[in-house]
Structure 1
Amino acid sequence: MSAIHSHAVPAYSLAITMGDPAGIGPEIICRSLAGLTASERAAILLVGDRDTFARAAQVTDVDLSFCAVERDAEVAGCVAVAQIEMPSGDIPPGEISAAAGEAAFRCIERAVELVQDGRAGVIVTAPLNKAALHAAERYYDGHTGMLASLTGAPSSFMLLASEQLSTIHVSTHVSLRDAIDRVTVERVTATVAAGYDHLRRLGIEAPRIAVAGLNPHCGEGGIFGDEDDRVIAPAVMQLQKRGWEVQGPISADTVFYRASRGEFDLVVAQYHDQGHIPVKLIAFDTTVNVSLGLPIQRTSVDHGTAFDIAWQGRADATNMRAAIDHAWRLVRNHG
């Protein structure tokens, strides 16, 4: 692909990527932008294809115009777009295609460049499709792994944030068997530290963090497994010595309820479903996916491309608005 570089481009607070153009990403972006003020839209840079955004605005019946930052960013009232070079090949709406997967990858690649060059602050991502990504021979497990690779980060963490319950994961897109092996003192400690730093970035001075146990009832003293006593408890003790308010391991069948009632600011889940199920049960439409441990900041919707309703004007933008709101919080509190 040919990347566009222009040092005359002004700095934007948010860079919002198009996602898979065959999915609902362009639609929910347009719907979200329509609900913002003119000054808020002026601080946003879209990363993707202008024509695709223009079609999405028509489908969603919103009054938006889009301009290329390289040429006519000074046009009053238009939404700035960092244009990617669209790949050749058809992109049928609502279908998996290599061209769509490649377009989604190029959006992320360009957004990372913009942030690293100091031209954008926080990345907000619309959904991509992993099968389309792999069809394009971009073999990533999703946004988080892709961003880690593009930025050279040795590891990354997934945090699901909502007003009532937030959780960060020791492991995510691996089998349950592999997830158990990833519960180490080092990884648990690093996961808590990533969550702690993020909460501080959001303005919480003394974050209250609970670490969920791995085994039923935290192993019941080794009856159901020894990982809680052998690995998780020592990790928590190390963190407590830093003066942090960290508790655990706490049985997973009670810790999420306690956190949802306001006792903790964050729960550390030991594997993907342990954290995803309670958060999505409580706040399915408003949960925001946040990537931590990277040299850049990124928020995202916590849903997929919804091919079954794509390009029909039916997509709900609630989750995208929540992702944008969380990104604004990061900008306001951390610059």
Structure 2
Amino acid sequence: MPATADTSLHRWLTTARWMLHAPRRRWRRVVRHGLLPFFHVHRQAEIEGDGRLDVAAGVCIGRSARLVVGDGHRLSLARGVWIGDDCELFAAPEVRIGSRTSLQSRSQILGQVSMGSGCVCAANLYVSSGSHRFFDEPHLPVRVQDRRAAARPSFANSRAVSIGDDCWIGINVVILPGVTIGRGCVVGANSVVRSDAPPYSVIGGAPASVLKTRLNFAPPSRIEAREDLHIPYFYSGFQQLGVSEDADDTCARERGGWVAGDRFCLALDVRPADVVDLEIDATHAGTIEHGARIFKVARGRNRLSIPAAPGHWNLLEFNWSYGGGDAAREGALVVLCAAVRTQRTTGTTP
């Protein structure tokens, strides 16, 4: 990890050396992606492709790291992300890395991968959403089968990989296509993960299996931001850590709640017929989308009654959009409380 002694001046000098190594090509990438005020990149790192690259403040990119974003694809690195030496990130179509997540040396993140905030990943991590075809026509070479499969209109060889917030992944771990690793999981060294891991599981082995749990993940019917024991149930998309290596890692609320991003997720004891009462504080008017419905949000405190549409592991996913510009993006929405209201039906006994 970067030392606390790294100053902003040192980062500027390092970035300048990176650009001077190949000035014309690298300057075009800096201008295209708006990187100059924000990132710390080693002079031997490479950023390739004409796709969309979103880089937030405090991102560090190590020696000989390679970031590839092809045309029409997207790579997003949130605040304080640390990419170690010799890492490769290849977005096809999208790779998203959450704030304060670190990837140590020689890790590879390939394809369609989402990794949450605050994850700690040891060296030689391999995550890919794609694999080779070898059973379609087994008499043919693998490369021929790959090419034929890719040419078919219905072919989809990428199965998205999702890794939740606050995960610790050991050295030499392989995570296979289609896997979802829940929030708070610990993955033991040398594991091969080929199936989903529930939130707060400790898994290990080849293939990996659940060995024990970090805590009893049992979503309640009501959660409040002021309660530390409810932190796991503000499941994802919230700023629950500082945003730089110099920040205090204690969980600090803002305006009495958790700052939410454009996409956030809550874990509640909910059923499809229930209603969720969501208490929020917004600095700008906007909308929240859940399921197939859109709800208007006024500036200031709001209480929204939202019919529940639970998804995987009974989680509730929300999308937030607002009228403020990029300068007002951070801290625009704070979630204070969420409670389940059961819709009971009454009738007569025959």
TM-score, normalised via structure 1 length = 0.28
- Structure with the higher fraction of residues in strand conformation: 2
- Structure with the higher fraction of residues in helix conformation: 1
